[in-house]
């Protein structure tokens, strides 16, 4: 980081003045509590005793054999409570909110994974919670809407703009601007104004730290390649962060290419985006000729975001990490592949990372190690994959 | 001299408060916006803000969000807005300051230097960027200064320790946000104005104007006593939403009532 809140030219705090004090207060509180042994012990207890950490590092022997290249390991974030890596971040942020004396949590959600995790943390810690969700996404993810309600959270539909994740983020910021003194905004990814990208990365970096420790025991060495899917980029940043200073570890992000980067129906931000400012950060965004933020598309609602976290934009700009596009077709194929070969149904988001691994692993030697961050489980996606394959099932 | 500075100086000599009104450019079309600007000035607006529509206006409430969407739908673009300003300047609006209120991404995408050069050429006197707080202004402040366009700073009730630095480094006028949350019409205000403006006036080096939520002549009158100017946006845009291409007359009447209220 070049200066606080900056990753090269990316990052920063591009928010209305009304929110500046809330960001300053958040950074001060985070700096204070994250260094306190008591806070760290409480968070550790929650991660281990509630979320189920450490998550397993599973040697995917059949996949390794099938692809005939690198030894493949799956970092099983799908086995966490609530079914994805999102729980790591919300437990940290909700605990921080509680320490700050905030009574109410708000969050945005796209597919509903972060919303469900936020609702879960709120229920556990006894806090009020409201989740903003685009009306389009609510329609596509009715099960997760019901889950959040079951957990005692209020789900507020957002119909402005395209009625999807970016609009939910807009609305969460608007809400926060009116009540930041009592409310904590739990952002769901390594995005937004400083200090959010730093805080979320810090709460997710446990993924990469565990991979390092687990592989040291298992293989006595570092991985050669780590692959993760990237929307805003929280599971990827969590998986990459501990390896950034280990130059021998290749870091690869799988971006959602939707119908393809040669169409307008994609969400491949690094491949197709330009530098801009949106949602409080300078980063890469998909924009039209007039600098308007473009509607994006992916079969995966969790990767369906027109931007990317600023630290990823930085890692891409200096060539430390690569970001490669994966289409809907490739992701669905890998969703089915992992189910059949390893008996694991991945989230459609994570299936993007599996798809890249299937291209990269065969080019690697059998002595090399490739780790896929399996960020979530795929139960939520079964219906949409069935629909993609032309089968109509009712849950 | 920048028209904003000249206008506030003239108002001060006449012991008058500034009425600053806002419309979203291109809502419902550019011809209507042109007619609205002329009518607002004729009825007493001292400065006019043109909102540049953005796909994701994070600081706006539902009224301006909807206007922004209508303008984009109707094909509004930044070059089209510069054309509008050029027409206004050649059509007799020579003294009234015209400002753009817009999100940073549109400026960056157009090109910072090219943008401020176009502002200067068309006759834009100031730019208000709601997602560019004090501390990040260096992003465009050099280019703005090079082309003598004022970059208007905002200060909020939550600014606290920041008020001093923001006020000392402001130019044109200081945009004082009346209340928390987003733009829109409000029935009442929870802010302690005496304390807020007391702090601001201690440090202000340029005139102050208060905005966000002011929707009636009564509210304008009540808040005018704290600042040198009053900003009314959403209430004007709401009339445009209701009356469309025929909005000039009702907007004109509203602006007249606002100006009379702050004159008393």
Instruction: List the pLDDT tens digit at each of the 264 positions of chain B.
Output: 899 999 999 999 999 999 999 999 999 999 999 999 999 999 999 999 999 999 999 999 999 999 999 999 999 999 999 999 999 999 999 999 999 999 999 999 999 999 999 999 999 999 999 999 999 999 999 999 999 999 999 999 999 999 999 999 999 999 999 988 888 888 888 889 999 999 999 999 999 999 999 999 999 999 999 999 999 999 999 999 999 999 999 999 999 999 999 997
Q: Is residue B154 part of a domain?
A: no
The answer to whether residue A17 neighbours chain B at the CB level (below 8 Å) is yes
Does any CB of chain A come closer than 8 Å to the CB of residue B12?
no
CA distance A281 to chain B (A): 10
> Is residue B116 included in any domain, yes or no?
yes
Closest partner CB to B159 (pick from A20, A177, A275): A20
DSSP, collapsed to helix, strand or coil, labels residue B91 as coil
Q: Is B132 in Cβ contact with A20 (below 8 Å)?
A: no
Q: Does B191 contact chain A (CB < 8 Å)?
A: no
Tokens of A147: 């889950």
User: Which residue, chain included where needed, has tokens 């007799």?
Assistant: B92
Q: Domain containing B220 — which CATH number?
A: 3.20.20.70
Is A375 an active-site residue? yes
Question: Are A120 and A87 within 8 A, CB to CB?
Answer: yes
Asked if the structure places residue B64 within a domain, the reply is yes
Tens-digit pLDDT profile for residues A337-357: 999 999 999 999 999 999 999
Residue B175 lies in a domain: no
Q: Which two tokens stand for residue A25?
A: 């207060």
Task: Look up the ipTM and state it.
Answer: 0.96
Q: Check: CB of residue A188 under 8 Å from CB of residue A107.
A: yes
**A84-113: per-residue pLDDT in tens?**
999 999 999 999 999 999 999 999 998 899
Beta strand A6-7 with A274-278 is unpaired
Q: How many CB atoms lie within 10 A of CB B134?
A: 20
A6 part of contact set with chain B, CB < 8 Å: no
Which of A290, A293, A306 to substitute to test the interface with B, most B CBs within 10 Å?
A: A290
Q: How many CB atoms lie within 10 A of CB B148?
A: 12
Cβ–Cβ gap B69/A161 under 8 Å: yes
Residue with tokens 């995005």: A191
Establish if B230 belongs to a structural domain: yes
Active-site residue, selected from the candidate residues A189, A350, A375, A384: A375
In a domain, B165, yes or no: no
- pLDDT at residue A3 is higher than 70: no
Sheet arrangement for strand A10-11: A6-7, A10-11, A281-285, A274-278
Extract the tokens encoding A108.
């945005």
| Full domain range(s) for residue B216 | 12-149+180-192+211-263
Identify whether B20 is part of a domain. Answer: yes
Report the residue of A16, A25, A284 to disrupt the B interface, i.e. the one with the largest count of B CBs within 10 Å: A16
Q: Cβ–Cβ of A16/B133 closer than 8 Å?
A: yes
Q: Specify if B244 maps to a domain.
A: yes
A38 belongs to the catalytic site: no
Number of domain units in chain B: 1
Give the other-Cβ count within 10 Å of A291's Cβ: 25
CA distances to A89, A107, B39 from A118, in Å: 9, 7, 50
- Residue length, chain B? 264
- Annotated catalytic residue: which of A27, A75, A84, A86? A86
| Radius of gyration of chain B measured on its C-alpha atoms | 17
Task: Give Cα separations from A193 to A4, A29, A101, A199, A202 (angstroms).
Answer: 12, 16, 22, 11, 15
Mutate which of A20, A24, A165, A183 to disrupt the B interface (most B C-beta within 10 Å)?
Answer: A20
Is residue B156 within 8 A of residue A38, CB to CB? The reply is no
Please check whether residue B164 touches A, CB under 8 A.
no
Q: Does A195 touch chain B (CB under 8 A)?
A: no
Return the ∠ at Cα B131 (arms to B127 and B136), rounded to 5°. Answer: 85
Is A108 annotated in the active site? yes
- H or E element: which one contains B232? strand B229-232
Q: Which residue has the tokens 């600042």?
A: B227
Chain B hits for A173, CB-CB cut-off 8 Å, are 58
Chain position carrying tokens 């390794």: A64
* Closest of A120, A119, A162, A123 to residue A140, by C-alpha: A162
**Shortest CA distance from B57: residue in chain A:** A170
Q: Cα distance from A309 to chain B (closest Cα, Å)? A: 16
Per the CB < 8 Å rule, is A174 touching B162?
no
Query: Closest residue of A to B159, CA-based?
Result: A21
- Phi-psi region at B23: left, alpha or beta (left = phi > 0; alpha = psi -120 to 50): beta
Q: What is the mean pLDDT of chain A?
A: 96
């Amino acid at each position: 980081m070049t200066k606080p809140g900056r990753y090269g030219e990316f990052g920063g705090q591009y928010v209305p003045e009304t929110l500046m004090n809330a960001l300053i207060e958040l950074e001060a509180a985070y700096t204070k509590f994250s260094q306190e042994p008591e806070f760290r012990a409480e968070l550790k207890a929650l991660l281990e005793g509630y979320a189920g950490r450490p998550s397993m590092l599973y040697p995917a022997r059949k996949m390794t054999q099938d692809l005939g290249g690198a030894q493949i390991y799956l970092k099983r974030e799908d086995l966490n409570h609530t079914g994805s890596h999102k729980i790591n971040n919300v437990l940290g942020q909700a605990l921080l909110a509680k320490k700050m004396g905030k009574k109410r949590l708000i969050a945005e959600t796209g597919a509903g994974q972060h919303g469900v995790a936020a609702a879960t943390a709120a229920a556990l810690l006894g806090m009020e919670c409201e989740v903003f969700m685009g009306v389009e996404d609510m329609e596509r993810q009715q099960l997760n809407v019901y889950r959040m309600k079951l957990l005692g959270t209020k789900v507020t539909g957002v119909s402005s703009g395209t009625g999807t994740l970016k609009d939910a983020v807009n609305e969460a910021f608007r809400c926060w601007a009116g009540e930041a003194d009592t409310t904590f905004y739990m952002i769901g990814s390594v995005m937004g104004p400083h200090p959010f990208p730093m805080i979320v990365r810090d709460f997710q970096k446990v993924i990469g730290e565990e991979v390092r420790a687990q592989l040291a025991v298992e293989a006595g060495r570092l991985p050669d390649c780590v692959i993760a899917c990237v929307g805003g980029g929280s599971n990827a940043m969590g998986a990459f962060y501990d390896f950034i200073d280990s130059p021998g570890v290749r870091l690869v992000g799988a971006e959602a290419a939707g119908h393809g980067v040669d169409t307008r129906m994609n969400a491949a931000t690094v491949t197709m985006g330009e530098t801009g400012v949106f949602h409080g950060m300078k980063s890469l965004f998909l924009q039209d000729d007039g600098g308007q933020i473009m509607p994006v598309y992916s079969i995966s609602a969790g990767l369906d975001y027109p931007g990317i976290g600023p630290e990823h934009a930085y890692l891409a700009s200096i060539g430390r990490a690569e970001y490669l596009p994966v289409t809907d077709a490739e992701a669905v194929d890998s969703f089915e592949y992992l189910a059949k070969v390893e008996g694991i149904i991945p989230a459609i988001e994570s299936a993007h990372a599996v798809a890249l691994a299937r291209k990269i692993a065969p080019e690697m030697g059998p002595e090399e190690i490739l780790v896929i961050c399996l960020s979530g489980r795929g139960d939520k996606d079964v219906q949409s994959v069935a629909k993609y394959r032309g089968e109509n099932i009712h849950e | 001299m920048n028209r904003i500075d000249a206008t506030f100086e003239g108002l001060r000599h006449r012991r008058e408060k500034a009425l600053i009104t806002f419309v979203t450019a291109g809502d419902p079309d550019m011809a209507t916006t042109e007619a609205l600007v002329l009518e607002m000035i004729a009825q007493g607006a001292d400065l006019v803000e043109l909102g540049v529509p953005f796909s994701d206006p994070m600081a706006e409430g539902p009224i301006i969000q909807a206007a922004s969407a209508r303008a984009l739908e109707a094909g509004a673009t930044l070059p089209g807005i510069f054309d509008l300003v050029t027409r206004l300047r050649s059509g007799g609006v020579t003294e009234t300051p015209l400002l753009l209120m817009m999100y940073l991404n549109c400026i960056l995408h157009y090109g910072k230097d090219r943008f401020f050069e176009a502002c200067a050429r068309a006759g834009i006197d100031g730019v208000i960027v709601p997602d560019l707080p004090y501390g990040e202004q260096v992003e465009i402040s050099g280019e703005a200064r090079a082309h003598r366009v004022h970059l208007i700073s905002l200060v909020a009730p939550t600014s606290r320790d920041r008020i001093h630095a923001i006020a000392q480094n402001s130019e044109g006028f200081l945009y004082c946000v009346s209340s928390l949350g987003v733009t829109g019409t409000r029935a009442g205000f929870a802010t302690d104005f005496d304390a807020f403006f007391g702090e601001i006036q201690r440090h202000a080096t340029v005139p102050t104007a208060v905005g966000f939520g002011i929707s009636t002549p009564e509210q304008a009158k009540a808040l005018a006593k704290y600042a040198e100017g009053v900003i009314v946006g959403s209430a004007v845009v709401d009339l445009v939403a209701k009356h469309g291409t025929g909005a000039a007359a009702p907007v004109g009447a509203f602006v007249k009532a606002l100006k009379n209220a702050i004159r008393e």
